[in-house]
Amino acid sequence: MILAVVPPSEHVHWMFATGVLLMGVCLLAQAIVGEEVWNRRAWRRYLWPSLIFVLGLFMWPVMTFFTNSTAHMLAHGSWAQVLMFAGAAQLGLASGKLHSHYWRLTIPLALVVSGAAFLLHEQNGWLYSRSTFIHHLCGWTLIVGAIFPLALTFRPRSLPLGVGYAATLILLSVVLYTARDVAPILGHLSPEAGTPHR
């Protein structure tokens, strides 16, 4: 019964990819027009912080239903917490309840923890299957991409840094959309991975 309710894991990746893509295009627009213009409408100030928070919320069912091992549970659980923490901090900044700009550091923290979670719960090598490749690539994309929001904390008006941050998320969504449960990567697929499908 539960198996019918739980989506295939590739579908979970695609759903998160959609949320990340929406966040990426919003951040790209914010980088282009600047924070002053972006923040002129109250609902827009809350848009992408809410998305981070909701992505964190949806990570809890992932932790519950996709717990293949303790590593998976710890990775998805810490991931859910850090995304909700970062989202809540950005919502606090947007509402004016938080004032210190150092709360922006929760974003690079969320990216680094998310990247580490991707890497830690993937125990196979890069070329084991498409799925493992994607987990390694997403992990390193997030860890390296965390440089952009980290630098934005200190230079919030920088166009290249803003575009870099948005591009990191858009790239992440593209990579997530390529996720398949069992598929080869660059012609490689471990025989232990199972039967490939489209």
Partner 1 sequence: MNSQVATEASRPRIRRSARSIAVLAIGPTVVLAGLIWALAQPYRITLLHPHEQGFWWLFVQPPVWVMLVGLFFHAFVAPGILADLEEAER
Stretch that binds partner 1, among 2-10, 55-63, 85-93, 187-195 (CB under 8 A): 2-10
Comparison of 64 and 69: residue with beta carbon closer to partner 1: 64
Distances (CA, A) of 156 to 35, 61, 72, 84, 121: 8, 34, 35, 22, 33
Residue 171 sits in the site that holds partner 1 (CB under 8 A): no
Cβ at position 8, least distance to partner 1 in Å: 6
Residue 177 sits in the site that holds partner 1 (CB under 8 A): yes
Site for partner 1 in 136-165 (CB under 8 A): none
Q: Do 116 and 143 meet the contact criterion of CB atoms below 8 Å apart?
A: yes
φ/ψ of 185, rounded to 5, equals: -130, 125
Residue 167 sits in the site that holds partner 1 (CB under 8 A): no
Secondary structure (DSSP) of 104-169? GGHHHHHHHHHHHHHHHT--S-TTS-HHHHHHHHHHHHHHHHTHHHHHHHH-TT-HHHHHHHHHHH
Comparison of 36 and 192: residue with beta carbon closer to partner 1: 36
Cβ at position 176, least distance to partner 1 in Å: 10
Non-local CB neighbours of 36 within 8 Å, separated by 6+ positions: none
Comparison of 11 and 144: residue with beta carbon closer to partner 1: 11
Q: Do 193 and 129 meet the contact criterion of CB atoms below 8 Å apart?
A: yes
Residue 98 sits in the site that holds partner 1 (CB under 8 A): no
Site residues, partner 1 (CB under 8 A): 4, 7-8, 11, 14-15, 17-18, 21-22, 25-26, 28-29, 32-33, 36-38, 40-41, 44, 47, 177, 198
